[in-house]
A and B are shown apart, each in its own frame.
Chain A
Amino acid sequence: MTSEAIRTTGGYTDLPHLISLMAGDEKHSPAAHSTLDALWVLYDRVLNAHPGNADAQDRDRFLLSKGHGPMAYYAVLAAKGFFPTELLRGFGGYDSPLGHHPNRLLVPGAEIGSGSLGHGLPLAVGTALGLRAQGLSGPAVWVLIGDAEFDEGSNHEAVAFAGAVGLDRLHVVVIDNSSATHGWSGGIAARFAGAGWSTATVDGRDHEELYRAYTAPHQGRPHVVVARTESKNS
């Protein structure tokens, strides 16, 4: 691995500027920012995923399931050098690879295309199973969902299965900005815990709390970090 391969083009303080480059009619902007800190800490300090190992089988996988409002995601990918920051200016344009929902065949570094809710976690379960079946016990699989996305039944299929089989290389980040219509009484983590997961609930703006939760040991169990942010409607 060369230093060139893992060059970064920006840091956390550059993200607001990078997001501002994506001018235009972005319909999900409140959702875009709720993920910013959780994404940054993951890409900056936790994931073994960078432009230098984008095609390596033993890379960590990050699956953005909550594909609405991907501006923070694109900003982080650009800051980490997955694609030139100039691309951000074309956000949503006909010839731009950066749509209002990401497409894995167009966006360098995007592991899945997403937008319709409830697909990322089942795909992440399959990814974790596929890596294990190929003897790759090292790579971690991460998926980010929203608290309203958690409403989707497909997520509950995945949570129950992953807990039951102890899929310990699977990690979920739930961005909880209280946007679920009927809410989740007792908190979202309780549902995961009931299915046998390791859980943590943290302030989704606090980088140290996020880092500690991301890196908490969870032997034999999948792990969820519920990152609470300000309410969508606040």
Chain B
Amino acid sequence: MNAQETTMREQFAATATELLDRDPRTALVLADIGVAQFPDAPRAHPDRVVNVGIREQLMIGVAGGLALTGMRPIVHTFASFLIERPFEQLKLDLGHQGVGAVLVSAGGSYDWPTAGLTHMSPGDVALLDTLPGWHVHVPGHPAEADTLLRHAVAAGDTLQYVRLSAHQNAAPRPIAPGKFLTIHQGSKLAGTVLAVGPMLDAVLAATEGLDVTVLYAATVRPFDGAGLRAAIGERADVVLVEPYLAGTSERAAHQALADLPHRVLGLGVPLAEHRHYGSMSEHLAAYGLDATGLRARISEYLW
């Protein structure tokens, strides 16, 4: 990744600041992390930018309370602290109360390997799958993060999760929230590879020269089962490549293909803890999620 590129987190700060300026219904809730990215917003909107300190349970409770009064909270911290630590608050202070919020995470599954598991959350999307009503967006580029954030904030009082990562593709794609995008169309007898968010570039490199259909998902919940059905030809063999826990979307893919003979292989971050530090690229390689590892596993499965 070029150090001079905008990161998804920087894009989030710019987009959220603009939304705070334009929409009096929005509020930003932070728990110390990310505060420096919003140098002016607290002064411009002292009642709508809330930093609760290092208190993640309170952060989600506050979001629920804001939503109960009709506001649209945007809540941000690292994925581990946003989804895993206050998980019961997500269940009860948002969903059970019948109110929504826009949760925006950073860190993802493997962004800071030098930090170890304390700052990694490969299970976040799988956890949200145990709760009803969540929309999950996994942008692969800062420009997509901008599109998905605006969509999520504007989406009424719904439950929205936007998962940002330092891992990104070289270029944005013309995404439409909620729809899978066909990046490469294989033959009728080709298998299908669904790349989620930042996995797209590695999937394209891994499948170069292979007869496969490559789909791209920047929104994974709801799962665009109709889009998957439309993309597969006469062979319903699907490989999912996700930047979080391997197999997270297998159930959704099986549901989409329930009336067809089909096979699904879920690739992603392994469940076992890798007790190594190092770099993001070293971790992706160790997980088999770099182009080399993906090519080997996709080739073996689809041929």
Q: Which residues of A contact B (CB under 8 A)?
A: 57, 103-105, 111-113, 116, 118-119, 121-134, 153-154, 157-158, 160-161, 164
Return chain B residues, CB-CB under 8 Å to A118: 57
CA gap between A229 and B294 in the complex, in Å = 65
- Given A105-B98, A123-B93, A133-B47, is A111 in contact with B61 using a C-beta cutoff of 8 Å? no
The one of B62, B69, B98 that contacts A122, using a Cβ cutoff of 8 Å: B62
Contact status A104-B55, CB under 8 Å: no
- Given A122-B89, A126-B61, A130-B68, is A104 in contact with B48 using a C-beta cutoff of 8 Å? no
What is the minimal beta-carbon distance from A184 to any residue of chain B, in angstroms? 20
What is the minimal beta-carbon distance from B290 to any residue of chain A, in angstroms? 41
| CB-based closest 7 A-B pairs | A126-B65, A122-B61, A130-B69, A126-B62, A157-B55, A157-B58, A127-B65
What is the minimal beta-carbon distance from A141 to any residue of chain B, in angstroms? 8
Q: Which residues of B contact A (CB under 8 A)?
A: 24, 27, 47-48, 50, 52-53, 55, 57-58, 60-71, 73, 88-89, 92-93, 96-98
Return chain A residues, CB-CB under 8 Å to B93: 119, 122-123
Q: Name A's interface SS.
A: helix
- Given A129-B65, A130-B68, A131-B69, is A119 in contact with B92 using a C-beta cutoff of 8 Å? yes
Contact status B48-A133, CB under 8 Å: yes
CA gap between A133 and B24 in the complex, in Å = 9
Q: Which residue of B lies closest to A136 (CB)?
A: B69
Chain B CB within 10 A, most for which of A121, A128, A129: A129
Contact status B97-A57, CB under 8 Å: no
List 25 A–B pairs whose Cβ atoms lie within 8 Å, in order of A's numbering.
A57-B70, A104-B98, A105-B98, A111-B68, A113-B96, A116-B92, A118-B57, A119-B93, A122-B64, A123-B61, A123-B65, A125-B65, A126-B73, A127-B68, A129-B62, A129-B65, A130-B27, A130-B65, A130-B69, A133-B48, A133-B71, A154-B89, A160-B53, A161-B53, A161-B58
Return chain B residues, CB-CB under 8 Å to A134: 24, 69-71
Contact status A130-B66, CB under 8 Å: yes
Return chain B residues, CB-CB under 8 Å to A111: 68
The one of A103, A119, A130 that contacts B70, using a Cβ cutoff of 8 Å: A130
Contact status B66-A119, CB under 8 Å: no
Return chain B residues, CB-CB under 8 Å to A124: 65
CA gap between A158 and B52 in the complex, in Å = 9
CA gap between A111 and B98 in the complex, in Å = 11
- A132-B47, A133-B47, A154-B57 provided; 7 other pairs, C-beta below 8 A? A113-B92, A116-B88, A119-B93, A122-B65, A133-B27, A157-B57, A161-B55
Return chain A residues, CB-CB under 8 Å to B53: 160-161, 164
Contact status B64-A123, CB under 8 Å: yes
CA gap between A111 and B88 in the complex, in Å = 19
- Given A112-B97, A153-B57, A154-B57, is A123 in contact with B88 using a C-beta cutoff of 8 Å? no
- Given A133-B27, A134-B71, is A154 in contact with B47 using a C-beta cutoff of 8 Å? no
Chain A CB within 10 A, most for which of B27, B58, B73: B58
CA gap between A128 and B52 in the complex, in Å = 14
CA gap between A204 and B48 in the complex, in Å = 36
Return chain A residues, CB-CB under 8 Å to B66: 126-127, 129-130, 133
